[in-house]
Structures are given as structure tokens and as C-alpha cells.
């Protein structure tokens, strides 16, 4: 109820008819109490409490099972059976997604029932989002939503490898099916151990989209996606290495994999540093200062001395103070 909003127990026809109420209801929902009160009012106004068996156009799941025995048997373990359990086993589980099915059940005519695998991406998304809009509000603006990769591009309701998450294939194989160019990055000498199962694509990306770019899971703080695991780099520090905050972790690291240790995006640490701290650059206000000690000709790693490179509470030049 909390996550799915009031429409989730209704058959789709009823959802559509009551959508104006629900939308009004949702936009007024400044708090749970207001939300519930408004919903109750809306339901009463609609004349009927949310009893999904009300429509004569519904056949009920038991009827579906008489012909689709295999599908119905498999459904016992489906997370979607909760729809029925949560609302007094009202019997329309199948029709919550397939729409009113009485006509089809009587005729066995496949054209009289909504089949998501024959529908357009937008139709499928609308159907699923009628219940899952609250948790996946960004989907329609996500890379996947834009590219018409619908919910069933990744999810399979009736079968598929990952039953709990209802995924066609488990991660990361699911993602590699389409993102073939990303796969080799996780085989590089240094990589986040995604293929090994230690980290998953969806730890960093929300495939349903976010407010951030590239579907990255990040909150207000720019690099929250990385610092939730690497909290020691998060700061705040008395002496910030400004670039960590302004340009983020990917100014120096590849996020997926790299030929270089520490996932650095340059083979040589000094090259990386000197791209911004050029000893020969003309200093202008706001630009990083070059080292007064010219290290370019010496073969010492900058981080040998400037080791707390993500920031320090003690040293303005990030020397190791531990």
C-alpha cells in the first residue's frame, strides 16, 4: 500500500476510470494521513469501495486457470500473488495485468485479451506503471524509457531466471545482452568485480532511471554513487582536493575497469596530476597551482608524498598524516 499507492488493488478498467481521482489524490498527498483520507473520500465518491470483482467484465483467476493451467500453477510463487493476498484473495490477479477477460474466457479468442508481448513499449509501461509509478517515477525519462526498452525488455512475469526480481536473465548477463560494449571493461586487469558477483550494475545504476545522468544512483551530493561504498573518500575535509568535489571521481578513475591500478584513467599517476598541475602553466585566479618543485623530470610518484589525495583534515597538500 505504501509503495504502490491506492490503484494497485484495482482492475485496470477501474484504474483508468478512477485515475483522475487518484491523480488528484496523489498530488494532494503531502503526508500519509492526508493521502489515506483523500483516497477513502475518493473511493466513497466513486460509489463503491475498491472491490475489484465488481465489474461483470471480469472472469476471475480461477476461470483463467481452467485453460491456462501451466501458467496458473507457475504463478503460485510469483510476488504478484501478493496482490490477491493483500486484498482478500479477490480473484482477479491475472486480470490486473491482462485486463478484463470475461469475453476472452468465454470465446477463447486470443484477440480479446491484452497480451503485453504483442503491445507497444509505451502500452506495457503504462500498464506496469499503473501500480509501480511510485517507485519508478523516473522511468519514462530514463535512457531505457526513451529508447523504448519497456519493462518486459528486462522483466519476465511468467518465467525468467531471477524469479524474485522477475528478471528474464540475472545481472550482469541481462545488461550485457544489449550493452555488449560494456562487457570487456569488466574484464580489464583492474575492475569492479561485477562478473564475480561482488558488485552489481544496479549498485551504481538504476535501470529505471534517476534524476542524475546515466541513470546513476546519486543523491544531492554529486558522487554519492561512489562514496556509499568508499566512504573514506567522501569528506568533508578541512583541506579538500577541490577537483574531487567539482569534477567527481571520474576525473581520475574509470568507473568500470581500467588497464591501470586503482582504476586510474592514466597509466602514470604523474601524468594524471600534471594535466592539471602543469609546472609551466600560466597561473590565473582559480586555476590549480603548479608544483613549485618540478617533479616532471623526476621519477617519483606524486602520491608518494601527496598520499591523502582525496583530501585531508591536517595537511593542505594532502601528506600522509596517519
- Kindly state whether residue 305 participates in binding ligand HEC, applying the rule CB under 6 A: yes
- Kindly state whether residue 126 participates in binding ligand HEC, applying the rule CB under 6 A: no
- Kindly state whether residue 50 participates in binding ligand HEC, applying the rule CB under 6 A: no
Judged by beta carbon, residue 38 or residue 132, the one nearer ligand HEC is: 132
Query: Is 188 in contact with 182 (CB distance < 8 Å)?
Result: no
Query: Burial code of 32-57, b = ≥16 C-beta within 10 A, e = fewer?
Result: eeebeebbeebbeeeeeebebebbee
Judged by beta carbon, residue 23 or residue 30, the one nearer ligand HEC is: 23
Q: What angle do CA 5, 11, 16 make, to 5 degrees?
A: 75
The stretch near ligand HEC (CB under 6 A) out of 19-27, 28-36, 44-52, 165-173 is 165-173
Q: How far is the CB of 17 from ligand HEC (least distance, A)?
A: 15
Q: How far is the CB of 24 from ligand HEC (least distance, A)?
A: 20
Give me the sign of the Cα torsion angle 307, 313, 317, 321. negative
Q: Which of 252, 235, 243 is nearest to 312 (CA)?
A: 235
Which member of 22, 39, 309, 311 binds ligand HEC (CB under 6 A)? 309
Which member of 117, 187, 282, 284 binds ligand HEC (CB under 6 A)? 117
Site for ligand HEC in 236-265 (CB under 6 A): 241-244, 247, 249-253, 255-256, 262-264
Cα–chain center distance at 109: 37
Separation CA 189–CA 193 (nearest Å): 11
Give the orientation angle of helix 32-45 with respect to helix 12-28, to 10 degrees.
140
- Kindly state whether residue 35 participates in binding ligand HEC, applying the rule CB under 6 A: no
The stretch near ligand HEC (CB under 6 A) out of 18-26, 28-36, 49-57, 194-202 is 194-202
Separation CA 107–CA 111 (nearest Å): 10
Which member of 21, 90, 225, 237 binds ligand HEC (CB under 6 A)? 225
- Kindly state whether residue 94 participates in binding ligand HEC, applying the rule CB under 6 A: yes
Which member of 35, 306, 311, 312 binds ligand HEC (CB under 6 A)? 306
Q: How far is the CB of 37 from ligand HEC (least distance, A)?
A: 22
Q: Considering CB under 6 A, how many residues would be counted as binding ligand HEC? A: 133
Judged by beta carbon, residue 27 or residue 117, the one nearer ligand HEC is: 117
Site for ligand HEC in 279-298 (CB under 6 A): 288-289, 291-293, 295
- Kindly state whether residue 4 participates in binding ligand HEC, applying the rule CB under 6 A: yes
Amino acid at each position: 500500500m505504501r509503495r504502490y499507492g491506492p490503484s494497485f488493488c484495482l482492475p485496470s478498467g477501474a484504474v483508468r476510470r478512477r485515475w483522475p481521482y487518484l491523480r488528484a489524490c496523489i498530488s494532494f498527498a503531502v503526508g500519509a494521513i492526508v493521502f489515506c483520507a483523500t483516497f477513502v473520500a475518493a473511493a466513497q465518491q466513486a460509489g463503491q469501495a475498491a472491490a475489484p470483482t465488481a465489474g461483470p467484465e471480469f472472469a476471475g483467476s480461477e476461470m483463467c486457470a481452467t485453460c491456462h493451467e501451466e501458467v496458473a500453477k507457475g504463478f503460485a510463487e510469483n510476488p504478484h500473488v501478493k496482490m490477491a493476498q493483500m486484498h482478500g484473495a479477490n480473484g482477479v490477479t491475472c486480470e490486473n495485468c491482462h485486463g478484463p477477460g470475461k469475453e476472452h474466457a468465454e470465446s477463447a479468442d486470443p484477440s480479446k485479451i491484452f497480451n503485453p508481448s504483442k503491445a507497444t513499449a509505451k502500452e506495457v509501461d503504462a500498464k506496469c506503471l499503473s501500480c509501480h509509478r511510485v517507485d519508478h517515477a523516473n522511468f519514462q525519462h530514463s535512457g531505457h524509457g526513451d529508447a523504448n526498452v519497456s519493462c518486459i525488455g528486462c522483466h519476465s512475469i511468467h518465467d525468467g531466471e531471477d524469479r524474485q526480481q522477475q528478471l528474464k536473465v540475472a545481472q550482469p548477463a541481462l545488461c550485457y545482452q544489449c550493452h555488449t560494449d560494456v562487457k570487456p571493461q569488466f574484464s580489464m586487469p583492474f575492475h569492479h568485480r561485477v562478473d564475480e558477483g561482488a558488485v552489481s550494475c544496479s549498485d551504481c545504476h538504476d535501470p529505471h532511471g534517476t534524476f542524475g545522468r546515466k541513470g546513476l544512483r546519486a543523491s544531492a551530493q554529486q558522487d554519492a554513487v561512489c562514496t556509499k561504498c568508499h566512504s573514506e573518500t567522501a569528506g568533508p575535509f578541512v583541506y579538500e582536493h577541490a577537483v574531487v568535489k567539482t569534477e567527481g571521481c571520474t576525473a581520475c578513475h574509470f568507473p568500470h575497469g581500467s588497464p591501470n591500478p586503482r582504476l586510474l584513467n592514466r597509466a602514470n599517476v604523474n601524468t594524471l596530476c600534471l594535466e592539471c598541475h602543469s609546472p609551466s602553466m600560466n597561473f590565473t585566479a582559480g586555476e590549480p597551482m603548479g608544483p613549485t618543485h618540478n617533479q616532471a623530470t623526476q621519477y617519483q610518484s606524486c602520491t608518494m608524498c601527496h598520499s591523502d589525495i582525496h583530501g585531508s583534515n591536517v595537511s593542505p597538500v594532502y601528506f600522509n598524516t596517519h
